[in-house]
Amino acid sequence: MLIKLTGGKVYDPAHQVDGKVTDIYIRDGRIVEGQHDGEKIDEEYDLRGKIVMAGAIDMHTHIGGGKVNIARMMLPEDHRGDLVAHTEHCRAGCGHAAPSTLTTGYRYAEMGYTAGFEPAMMPVNARQTHLEMGDTPIIDKGGYAMLGSDDFFLRMLTAKQDQNAINDYVAWTLHASQAIGIKVVNPGGINAFKFNQRALDLDELNTHYQVSPRDVLKALSRAVHELGVPHPLHVHGNNLGVPGNMETTLKTMGASEGFPMHLTHIQFHSYGTEGDRKFSSGAAAIAEALNKHKNISADVGQILFGQTVTASGDNMRQFANAGHGSPKKSVIMDIECDAGCGVVPFKYKDQNFVNALQWAIGLEIFLLMEDPWRIFLTTDHPNGAPFTSYPHLIRLLMDKSFRNDTFAKLNLDAQAMSTLSSIDREYSLYEIAIMTRAGAAKLVGLHDRGHLGVGAGADITVYTDQPDREAMFAKPDYVFKDGELVVRNGQVVKVTWGSTHTVRPEFDRGIEKDLKKYFDRYHTINMENFKVRDDEIAEGGRGKVIIQACEGRREKSE
């Protein structure tokens, strides 16, 4: 089966292709050089005048795991307020902020996304997370395993165990939970919450374990790097949402001591304390520091106005925010004594000073960050806004007058506190392709995705070039997933089931001796049952595990 995509204007930053008219050939789900001699073209798509990019990749989106289900259970109004009827190809579903799994997959594909990564997969919840993602059609997926507040790891730190042992534990966790990266949420803070601490700064000690978030970040970022895991440590820092937390964020950038680190939803961590209301934008300082620290990357976690729900493993901060919930309800809970979870519904309002400034801070970071390879387009779905608002966000980035018009309608006090209207930058299509495709694939470690080179998986999105970028990105003409046409004119025409991406770094299995003892004594399940097997993900042939290479493995520590 050979498919030819003829005459499209291609944006493929991984190969420095910036709008060059090129033909693309797809054979059996992969991009190939061209026809063999005498080979017949089975299908041809005339893409003259169209924009061609790789399928987009959302590197941080909460689409699976316990907290999403809690959000669904807690917000029946979110579901009955947004019903989707079944079509010829798709099953019925519902949900605006926390959509059902099927609807999540369809909506991503209909926006030209072909992969999404769940950033807060508790290892003990990994099975449920994978089952849920396995029910999310079309797109590829993967998860970052959450470490850093679990007792086994904190005991290792307290006992000052050497880095090799920590590396083995991190690698074991990646294997057991079938993850592609490691995430740390409020380093050590989720655990400290259980010892009645209600805030934890970077150098403050967990009263029980006597370790600081800095110790956690240092050990984990180094472990991830030494194991050769492509995705750097994924960090949700301390003090999320607290005015003045930009100082913590700036210090956090140095905490990994040069090892690569990804700071997620950095907008929520870029607040100053200037002005009458002691809440101001720290975007300029944060962006400057990001520009300087080449080992640090970030995704923005842009907020957009409207009803959504915040779902996070950071129960310390969610506990503090629960009073702001709208509608007024929340769930703050422990999960299996190994981590936490907080779900608080939230409505961002454009006439609210804080919300309007949060909106501006996110955009300031986007626009002041010089290197599009180290900044990523997210709303921290659903925390800042549902992922369906990405086309709107892209227009805000690409269209200065639209951005300024929107800004001019916001809370006046917030406008006075932001420099947004003085920033002239507009993102180009090439830069959008970096942020949402090439850069994201490189960051997550998807070697055969996010680009259109020979050998890549044929995840391809085709748009009509329209001046209204929101309309353009909301409704692609064609989306191909592994070479199959899944979306035409923004409508799903075929439902496929994507793969699950993982990494499997080498490690010393000797760690299982200690782990087995720990599991037998403290855990809710047996160690062997804790491990998620490939055939559970494969689910009768529907899903598939893809192991991405751990390239760049470093030598072990002394």
Question: Which residue in the set 75, 171, 446, 511 belongs to the binding site for other proteins (CB under 8 A)?
Answer: 75
Are 166 and 156 contacting, i.e. CB atoms less than 8 angstroms apart?
yes
Q: Does the footprint of other proteins cover residue 253 (CB under 8 A)?
A: no
| H-run or E-run covering 115 | strand 113-121
Whose Cβ is closer to other proteins: residue 77's or residue 551's? 77
Compute the least distance from the CB of residue 478 to other proteins, in Å.
30
- CA-to-CA separations, 490 to 11, 121, 236, 436, 472, in angstroms, rounded: 20, 30, 33, 18, 10
- Burial classification of residue 502, based on how many CB atoms lie within 10 Å of its CB (0-12 exposed, 13-18 middle, 19 or more buried): buried
Q: Does the footprint of other proteins cover residue 74 (CB under 8 A)?
A: yes
Whose Cβ is closer to other proteins: residue 194's or residue 347's? 347
Please give the angle made by the CA atoms of 343, 345 and 351, to the nearest 5 degrees.
Answer: 140
CA distance 280 to 551: 41
SS3 334: strand
Compute the least distance from the CB of residue 315 to other proteins, in Å.
22
Whose Cβ is closer to other proteins: residue 36's or residue 86's? 86
Compute the least distance from the CB of residue 86 to other proteins, in Å.
7
Q: What is the DSSP letter of 36?
A: P
User: Terminal CA-to-CA distance of the chain, rounded, Å?
Assistant: 52
Whose Cβ is closer to other proteins: residue 241's or residue 345's? 345
Judged by CB under 8 A, the stretch of 27-35, 74-82, 135-143, 231-239 that binds other proteins is: 74-82
Q: Does the footprint of other proteins cover residue 89 (CB under 8 A)?
A: no
Whose Cβ is closer to other proteins: residue 76's or residue 510's? 76
Whose Cβ is closer to other proteins: residue 69's or residue 239's? 69
Per the DSSP assignment, residues forming a β-bridge with 347 are: 307
Neighbouring residues of 16: CB distance < 8 A, sequence distance ≥ 6: none
Whose Cβ is closer to other proteins: residue 81's or residue 510's? 81
Judged by CB under 8 A, the stretch of 193-201, 243-251, 281-289, 323-331 that binds other proteins is: 323-331
Q: Does the footprint of other proteins cover residue 76 (CB under 8 A)?
A: yes
Whose Cβ is closer to other proteins: residue 86's or residue 542's? 86
Annotate each residue in 111-140 with x if it binds other proteins (CB under 8 A) or - if it does not, as one string.
------------------------------
Question: Which residue in the set 20, 278, 329, 517 belongs to the binding site for other proteins (CB under 8 A)?
Answer: 329
Of 506, 502, 546, the closest CA to residue 228 belongs to 506
Q: Does the footprint of other proteins cover residue 294 (CB under 8 A)?
A: no
**What contacts 24+ positions apart, CB below 8 Å, involve 193-199?**
193/315, 193/316, 193/319, 193/340, 194/334, 194/340, 197/316, 198/316, 198/319, 198/320, 199/239, 199/242, 199/316
Q: What is the DSSP letter of 436?
A: I
Site size with other proteins, rule: CB under 8 A = 9
Compute the least distance from the CB of residue 309 to other proteins, in Å.
13
Question: Which residue in the set 43, 77, 162, 405 belongs to the binding site for other proteins (CB under 8 A)?
Answer: 77
Question: Which residue in the set 42, 44, 46, 86 belongs to the binding site for other proteins (CB under 8 A)?
Answer: 86
SS3 173: helix
CA distance 422 to 413: 16
Contact footprint for other proteins (CB under 8 A): 74-77, 86, 92, 327-329
